[in-house]
């Protein structure tokens, strides 16, 4: 039996969609275990067609793969139906998609509260995607959430929505000066939407465990990234779930001992969307170069991504907190044509050299990158098929990242396409 966890090692947008798609042909199940439609995963098929997935696992684009939205995910039913419709319009077979009965439903009031809270925070805002993710997880933890299975019992659904709105409407009206939402209207809308996805509701934890017992391969596709994890990330500038590998067992309902491989997706430089500290961020022509050459624009919100050099301190941290066994290094091609490529090997924090993540938020805010300069390369590497095909300086860059990050670089992305990947060591 093999469960593989695939996670972002930085602040998201590392290329998880491409990695899931690459492994698609060798696996039986792909499971999303946390987050919601804050995610934006891009897949470029060999035909050149590009897909952007938000809530639905990237395995949906591989025929024959069973896809699951796990219990740890928050599901906006309107977004789900729109995304399914968009895929079906492009002749993608969505019949294999199942949704955990225990996943939480993201309601219109979560979106409303996300947006007003951000506005209220002003320059202290998190820079959320405005999709209602934080408020939905708040309700889950406060035990006032609505779960997917609740659509199967109209009475329970109505009770839960009424109870939730009793307080939410006070907040919306009295604190934020917004309109109250009518519980009956919310219930009607959800029941209408449920007609489009009811047949997909399943006890997915049972099915996944049975699949593992049959020796099938399960890929747990994380969204966001390690530094956006609510426990291990740059709190409070994080998302409201656990993208880190431990979250995969919880969010899918399998035992951690079923996980045999933890594949970290690592961009050859660093990007971040939204607010929060980012030690290697560049504000000069190099930052503009990475943004332009890497096409660094958010898939979900269209916001420009902040760009910076590779940060080995956070990669080391990601290796440790996730137990990463293999890295998939993406976007190496973006670094071609630089004279030198700096790597942040450590930080200077208040005059001291620090090799590991500072313990406190203040320490991380004060962290200044200490760079090591690697000689660059000018060749177009987008058609390289093996590690040895890469220019020597590109090979040296990878070997140095590997040494600093503490895990083997098993795959290397040299372009957005599925076949633009060098496999040094097979994952499955
Ligand atoms: P995700 O959220 O982790 O799935 O990543 P996104 O899809 O948000 O952003 C990654 C972007 O990089 C997408 O546009 C991918 O098509 C693209 N991409 C992934 N791997 C590579 C690579 O190796 N080279 C290049 N040039 N682009 C890549
Ligand atoms: P993928 O899966 C990059 C960021 C937001 C914000 C913070 C909190 O495509 O890598 P939220 O809406 O989750 O409450 O926002 O997290 N964020 C992402 N950044 N990629 C993502 O997903 C993200 N999902 C959330 O920008 O800073
Ligand atoms: Mg993304």
Q: What is the pLDDT of residues 229-245, one digit of tens each?
A: 999 999 999 999 999 99
Q: Which ligand is nearest to the CA of 41?
A: 1
How confident is the model at residue 102, as a pLDDT?
A: 98
Supply the Cα-derived Rg of the chain in whole angstroms.
22
Residue 332's pLDDT band, with cuts at 50, 70 and 90, is very high
Contact yes or no for 297/304 (Cβ under 8 A): yes
Could you tell me which of 320, 296, 428, 312 has the C-alpha nearest to residue 27?
A: 428
Is beta strand 408-413 parallel, antiparallel or unpaired with respect to 2-8?
unpaired
Mean residue pLDDT of the chain comes to 97
For the chain, domain boundaries:
2-91+203-423, 104-198
What CA–CA distance (Å, rounded) separates 71 from 377? Answer: 45
Tens digit of each residue's pLDDT (9 = 90 or more) over 137-169: 999 999 999 999 999 999 999 999 999 999 999
Report the DSSP pairing between strands 326-330 and 408-413: parallel
CA–CA dist 65, 80 (Å, integer): 19
Asked whether 53 and 83 are in contact (CB, 8 A), the reply is yes
Q: Which two tokens stand for residue 354?
A: 């620090």
Q: What angle do CA 253, 257, 262 make, to 5 degrees?
A: 90
350 is catalytic: no
> Residue 223: CB within 6 Å of ligand 2?
yes
Q: Among the options 21, 41, 110, 114, which is catalytic? A: 41
Taking a C-beta distance cutoff of 8 angstroms, is the pair 323, 309 a contact? no
271 carries a ligand binding annotation: no
Q: Which superfamily does CATH assign the domain made up of 104-198 to?
A: Adenylosuccinate Synthetase, subunit A, domain 2 (1.10.300.10)
State residue 135's pLDDT score: 98
Pick the catalytic residue from 13, 114, 229, 326: 13
CA nearest ligand 2 atom 5, residue: 128
* Cβ 18 under 6 angstroms from ligand 1: yes
Dump pLDDT digits (tens) for 259-307: 999 999 999 999 999 999 999 999 999 999 999 999 999 998 999 999 9
The response to whether 274 counts as a known ligand-binding position is: no
Residues 6+ apart with CB under 8 A from 343: 309, 310, 312, 371, 372, 374, 397, 400, 401, 404
Cβ distance 394 to 341 under 8 Å? no
Q: What spacing in Å lies between the alpha carbon of 129 and ligand 2's midpoint?
A: 6
Task: Give which of 261, 252, 260, 235 is closest to 364, Cα–Cα.
Answer: 235
**Per-residue confidence band for 114, with pLDDT thresholds at 50, 70 and 90:** very high
Q: Is 385 annotated as a binding residue?
A: no
Task: State yes or no: is 13 an active-site residue.
Answer: yes
Distances (CA, A) of 43 to 22, 60, 173, 221: 9, 11, 41, 13
Q: What is the DSSP string of 392-425?
A: HHHHHHHHHHHHHHTSEEEEEESSSBTTSEEESS
Query: Which residue has its alpha carbon closest to ligand 2 atom 16?
Result: 239
Query: Helix, strand, coil proportions of the chain in percent (round to 5)?
Result: 40, 25, 40
* 10 labelled ligand-binding: no
Q: Give pLDDT tens digits for 71-85.
A: 999 999 999 999 999
Query: Residue 1: what pLDDT?
Result: 66
Q: Which of 47, 53, 66, 70 is nearest to 19 (CA)?
A: 53
Cβ of 17 closer than 6 Å to ligand 2, yes or no, is no
Please give the pLDDT value at position 118: 95
Residue 414 annotated as binding site:
yes
Token pair listed for 423:
């496999």
**Beta carbon of 57 within 6 Å of any ligand 1 atom:** no
Whether pLDDT at 69 is above 70: yes
Q: For ligand 2, say whether the CB of 8 is within 6 Å of any of its atoms.
A: yes
Question: Is the CB–ligand 1 distance for residue 52 below 6 Å?
Answer: no
Q: Ligand 2: which of 37, 52, 128, 275 to mutate, judged by most atoms within 8 Å of the beta carbon?
A: 128
Q: Tell me the C-alpha distance between 81 and 273, whole Å.
A: 26
Q: In which band, very low, low, confident or very high, does the pLDDT at 337 lie, cut at 50, 70 and 90?
A: very high
Which tokens belong to 344?
Answer: 């942040």
Percent above pLDDT 70 for the chain: 100
Mutate to test the pocket of ligand 2, among 36, 117, 228 (most ligand atoms within 8 A of CB): 228
- Which run of H or E residues covers position 99? strand 97-100
Q: Would you say residue 387 has pLDDT above 70?
A: yes
At 409, list the tokens.
Answer: 């670089």
pLDDT digits (tens, 9 = 90+) for 188-204: 999 999 999 999 999 99
- Alpha-carbon distance values, 159 to 111, 146, 152, 162, 194 (Å): 20, 10, 13, 5, 17
Is any atom of ligand 1 closer than 6 Å to the C-beta of 42? yes
Fold of 2-91+203-423: Adenylosuccinate Synthetase; Chain A, domain 3 (3.90.170)
Rounded to whole angstroms, the Cα distance separating 338 from 329 reads 18
Report residues near ion ligand 3: CB below 5 Å. 13, 40, 299
Q: Among the options 54, 104, 110, 140, which is catalytic?
A: 140
**Is 258 one of the catalytic residues?**
no
């Amino acid at each position: 039996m093999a469960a593989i966890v695939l996670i972002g090692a930085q602040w998201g947008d590392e290329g998880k969609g491409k990695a899931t798609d690459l492994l698609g042909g060798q696996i039986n199940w792909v499971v999303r275990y946390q987050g919601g439609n804050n995610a934006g995963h891009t897949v470029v098929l060999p035909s050149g067609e590009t897909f952007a997935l938000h809530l639905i696992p990237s395995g949906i684009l591989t025929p024959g793969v069973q896809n699951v939205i796990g219990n740890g995910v928050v599901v906006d039913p309107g977004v789900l139906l729109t995304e399914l419709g968009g895929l079906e319009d492009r002749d993608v077979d969505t019949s294999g998609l199942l949704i955990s009965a225990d996943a939480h439903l993201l309601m219109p009031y979560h979106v409303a509260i996300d947006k007003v809270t951000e506005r209220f925070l002003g320059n202290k805002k998190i820079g959320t995607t405005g999709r209602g993710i934080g408020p939905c997880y708040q309700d889950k933890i406060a035990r006032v959430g609505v779960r997917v299975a609740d659509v199967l019992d109209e009475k329970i659904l109505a009770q839960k929505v009424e109870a939730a709105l009793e307080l939410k409407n006070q907040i919306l009206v009295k604190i934020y000066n917004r309109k109250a939402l009518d519980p009956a209207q919310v219930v009607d809308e959800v029941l209408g939407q449920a007609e489009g996805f009811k047949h997909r509701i399943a006890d997915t934890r049972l099915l996944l465990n049975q699949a593992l017992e049959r020796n099938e391969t399960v890929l747990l596709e994380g969204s966001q990234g390690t530094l956006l994890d609510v426990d291990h990330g740059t709190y409070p500038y994080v998302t409201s779930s656990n993208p880190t590998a431990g979250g995969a067992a919880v969010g899918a309902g399998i035992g951690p001992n079923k996980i045999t491989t933890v594949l970290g997706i690592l961009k050859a430089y660093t990007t971040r969307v939204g607010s929060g500290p980012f030690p290697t961020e560049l504000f000069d022509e190099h930052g503009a170069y990475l943004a332009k050459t890497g096409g660094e624009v958010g898939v979900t919100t269209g916001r420009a991504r902040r760009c910076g050099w590779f940060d080995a301190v956070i990669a080391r941290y990601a290796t440790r907190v996730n137990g990463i066994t293999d890295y998939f290094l993406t976007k190496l091609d973006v670094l071609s044509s630089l004279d030198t490529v700096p790597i942040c090997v450590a930080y200077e924090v208040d005059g001291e050299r620090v090799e590991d993540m500072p313990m406190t938020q203040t320490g991380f805010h004060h962290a200044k990158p200490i760079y090591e300069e690697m000689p660059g390369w000018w060749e177009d590497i987008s058609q390289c098929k093996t590690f040895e095909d890469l220019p020597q300086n590109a090979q040296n860059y990878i070997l140095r990242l590997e040494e600093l990050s503490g895990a083997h670089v098993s795959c290397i992305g040299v372009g957005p396409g599925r076949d633009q990947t060098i496999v040094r060591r097979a994952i499955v």
